[in-house]
Each structure stands twice: as structure tokens, then as C-alpha cells.
Structure 1
Amino acid sequence: MAERIARDRLDQIYELRLLTEPRLAALAANNISDNDRDELVSIAAEMLSEISPQMPEAYARFSRLDEAFHRKIATLSGNQVIADALADLHIHVHLFRLSQPQTAISDAILEHRRLVKAITEHDAKAAEKAMEEHILLSRSRFIEGGAISDFWPRRQKNEESHVKRCHESDAGSQTDP
């Protein structure tokens, strides 16, 4: 029963994230200033340069930077009510993440780079798409890592198809920031 509650809770958390964070990323792309751009780029660069999955403290450091990264995007959206709600939500996300393998850090960092690129280029559509893909992939990592067995079995195939379509539509259009 506890495992079912955990799956249900995680399902609800990711549903909320999918409903809100892609839109917030699009708004952030429209609203970002030069100072905010520098701060967002700095957080992403810190993740990339200072975190290695081999470091014993990597997860704790990544967790703090990931929270700061998502909080910054939510704040940039201009909707403080949703930003505050997501700040509370990320505490629960990190509790679930404790059971994930640390190799997931590298994948998330690469996804964050796509988000930074889209937001700093004021590309709202690409930012929304990148955030949606990031959330779907994050959710899939729980399944692949075996953190919660049989988690979203009926949705996994749909998510994999969606992510594949995202990658296909981006083919040839991606460059590193």
C-alpha cells in the first residue's frame, strides 16, 4: 500500500509539473533580462563544471542547484503564486529523487542546457518544449532506474514516443549555448 501511495503521489507531482513548468519556461523566455540571463547561465554552468557523478556529494550539490535553477525559471515567469507553489513541490521531488541513480545527474544537466539556450534566446516555444521534455525524461528516469517499480507502465510508451518526436523535430537545429 505504501508503494502505491508513493506512486500516486509522484504521479500527481509530475502531472502538476507538466501542467505548469513548460508554460513558466515560455514566460521566462519572454521576460528574461540580461542580469537574469547571467544568473541562469551561472547556475547551469556551475552544474556542468562542478558536479561529477563520481563525487560522493554530487547528489546533494546537484539537488540544491537544480532547485535554484527551476526556482529561477519560475520566478522569471512573473507568476509568483505558481513560483511559490513549485518551490514547495520541489521538496517532494527531491525526496523521491533520493532513490535515483546518480548517473541521472548528467542527463538532467544536458536537458538544462537546452532550457538555458531556449530561454536566453527568448525562444518561448523552444523553452516550453525543452521543459516538457525535461520533465518527461525526469519521470522516465524513475522507471528506468527502478526507483519505483511498474511506475506509470501505461504512460511510459507514450512518453518515449513524445520524446522521440521532440528529438526528431529538433534534428539539426540544436547547438550548444
Structure 2
Amino acid sequence: MRRSVLSDGVHESLKALILEHRLAPEARLNIEALARDLRVSPTPVREALARLESEGLVRKRPLAGYTVSPLLTRDEFNDMFDMRIVLEGASARWAAIRATAGLRATINIEATISYEAAAPDSEGPRSHASFTALDARFHDRLAQAAGNPLLRDAITRLHAHLHIHRLYFPYAETASTTDEHRQIAAAVQAADPDRAEAAMHAHLAAARTRHLQAFSP
């Protein structure tokens, strides 16, 4: 149990460093150096990096070791959002049909309180990391409610690429994200699959527009 808790803590620490860009995109990761910085042995660092690789946040290359995943190009970013629209539209639709009463209530609560409860007064890397964690939790909860583990895993991997871009997200737009999440949650709560899917599509279309500002010349 203690080793599991330690590994979880190292995983969360490294994930935060990546999302805050203190470990920059494409940076090489030295296991021994990370272990020293985190004051742990190399073993939990290796375990954490293996988990981060499965999440898409780091890459492992033969003879080169681990590196932080790179930022997507504009075309790759658009491709990723095209896939999100397909997968998360289905996620919202199935969540509206299949979610338990408990999950419907949880989704509704998280959509209502997430950003008001956690939004800091100023921008910064930690602000973006907090926003990312809350946003990811909301989308993952919908995928969980959809009742398809393969779909949930695919959505998680797509989100990894988005998370690395979060530092460039216009943080003033979090209120728009909250409103859009509420629309999705209300449709799921009402067990209305058409409305839930449409709300998710509208949310992702708006999110794509907001994020594409980072690629402007």
C-alpha cells in the first residue's frame, strides 16, 4: 500500500510539472535526476513515467529514454478536435442514456461548482494545471457514465495532448467553459441523448475556436 501511495504521488508530481511546462514539451527526462529532485528512489519514477506514457504525456524511444510529448501542430490539433467531436459526442449521448442516478448527480454537481470553486484570481501555470484537472475530471466522468471502457480510454489519451497546450489557453474563457459544461450536464440529468450530444458538439466547437488562438501568428 505504501509503495502504491508513493508511486501515485510521484505520478501526480511529474504530471503537474509537465502541465505547468516546468518540464517542457520534448524535454528529455533523466530518471535519476528526477528521483533526486523528488527525493525518492528511481523505481517510483520509472513506474510514474510508464503511467504517463500510457496517458500520452511522455514518450519512450529505444536507446533515448523518455521525453515529454511535443506540442501538436495546428493541423494535428484540428485532427484531435475532430476525433473529440466524434468520441465525446457519443460519450455524452450514451451518458444521457446509461448513467446511474448517482453519476448524473455527480456530473451535475461538478459542472456547477468546478471553476467557481477552484478558479484563482490571476493567471499562471498552477491556475492552468488546476483548470486542466477539473476539466479533465468532468469529461472523464461523462465517459465513465457512458459505460464503455474502450471509449473512456480513447478520450483520456486524446485529452493528454490537449493538456500540454493548456498553458496557452485564454484563462478568461473559463466562464464560457463552465456554462457549456452546465448545458451538457443538464441534458444528461434530463436523460436527453440528442440534447446531450448537441451540447457536447457545441462545447467542443467553441473550445476549438478558443484554443486555436494559441496558433495565431
| Structure 2 length-normalised TM | 0.62
Residue 121 (1) aligns with residue 193 (2): no
- Report the residue type matching 1:141 in the other structure: R
Residue aligned with 1:54, SS:
coil
Q: Name whichever structure is richer in strand by fraction.
A: 2
Aligned position for 1:32: 99
Matched, 1:17 2:84: yes
**Does the 8 Å contact 1:53/1:103 carry over to 2?**
no
Distance 1:48 1:101, change over 3 A: closer
Deviation of residue 45 (structure 1)? 2.6
Taking the aligned partners of 1:17 and 1:139, their CA distance within structure 2 comes to: 10
* Aligned-partner Cα distance in 2 for 1:59–1:114: 23
State the 1:116 CA deviation. 0.5
| Corresponding position of 1:105 | 174
State the Cα distance separating 1:59 from its structure 2 match. 2.3
Structure 1 residues 120-147: Cα deviation after superposition (integer angstroms, max 9, x where no partner): 110100000000000000001123xx30
Specify every segment of 5 or more residues in structure 2 that has no aligned partner in the other structure, as ranges. Answer: 1-70
- State whether structure 2 residue 129 is matched by structure 1 residue 60: yes
Listed one character per residue, the Cα deviations across residues 136-163 of structure 1 (whole Å, up to 9, x for unaligned) are 00001123xx30027xxxxxxxxxxxxx
Over 3 Å counting, the alpha-carbon distance change for 1:102 and 1:53 in structure 2 is farther
Letter in 2 for 1:12: D
Amino acid at match of 1:6: T
Match of 2:27 in 1: none
2:141 alignment counterpart? 72
Give the number of equivalent residue pairs: 145
Structure 1 residues not aligned, in runs of 5+: 151-177
Does the CA-based 8 Å contact 1:10-1:96 persist in structure 2? no
> How large is the RMSD of aligned CA atoms in angstroms?
1.9
SS of 2:214 mapped into structure 1: coil
Does the CA-based 8 Å contact 2:115-2:131 persist in structure 1? no
SS of 2:128's partner is helix
Distance 1:78 1:49, change over 3 A: same
Q: Is residue 2:142 matched to residue 1:86?
A: no
Q: Contact 1:53–1:105 at 8 Å: present in 2 too?
A: no
Quick check: 69-78 or 36-45, which moved more? 36-45
Q: Which has the larger radius of gyration?
A: 2
Equivalent residue, structure 2, for 1:148:
215
Q: What displacement does 1:5 show?
A: 5.8
CA distance in 2, matches of 1:5, 1:38: 35
| Identity rate, percent | 29
Code of the residue aligned with 2:205 in structure 1: it is L
